[in-house]
Amino acid sequence: MEDQDHEGKKILVIQTHGVATPTRTYSPLFYAMAAAAMEMEVMVWFTMDGTNQLKKGEAEKVQLVKDSNVNLKTMLEMAMDSEVELRVCQQSLELWDMQPEDLIDGVDILGATSIIDLSLSYDHVMYF
């Protein structure tokens, strides 16, 4: 692949899978961190089932790599440390009967219409 300048590009990752499908929670965060390492602006938008992985205490229960210390909480923390923005859909919180105080630290809540504006303003959208 030809060397390209990715700095300043914006990637939106939409995550719809949660703790019931743990192997599907890993890739979106991994790709988001990879894009951040390439100096791109990255946001992961959690909606539908993806919302439940942001509930305090849930991510610790999801072991992603067998016989290692890597769990979903580790991945979420690594993503935030990589300057990946984590956002959750307000309406999805309601579906899971969650309140803002139920969320892990570092996650912002946005209304459902925000995803339309975000999709139009980002360079690329990845959907999981």
40-55 tens-digit pLDDT: 999 999 999 999 999 9
Q: What is the CATH number of the domain that holds 45?
A: 3.40.1260.10
Whether 110 maps to a domain, the answer reads yes
Whether 2 maps to a domain, the answer reads no
Report which DSSP code applies to 104.
P
Strand partners, 85: 43
Whether 5 maps to a domain, the answer reads no
> What Cα–Cα distance (Å) separates residue 71 from each residue in 12, 100, 123, 128?
23, 23, 30, 19
Helical spans, DSSP H, in 2-126: 23-37, 72-81, 90-95, 114-121
The pLDDT tens digits for 12-48 are 999 999 999 988 999 999 999 999 999 999 999 999 9
User: How many structural domains is the chain composed of?
Assistant: 1
Sign of the dihedral defined by the CA atoms of residues 73, 84, 103, 111, in that order: negative
Residues spanned by the domain of 104: 10-56+66-127
pTM above 0.85, yes or no: yes
Query: For residue 108, which phi and psi values (nearest 5 degrees)?
Result: -100, 150
Whether 81 maps to a domain, the answer reads yes
Whether 61 maps to a domain, the answer reads no
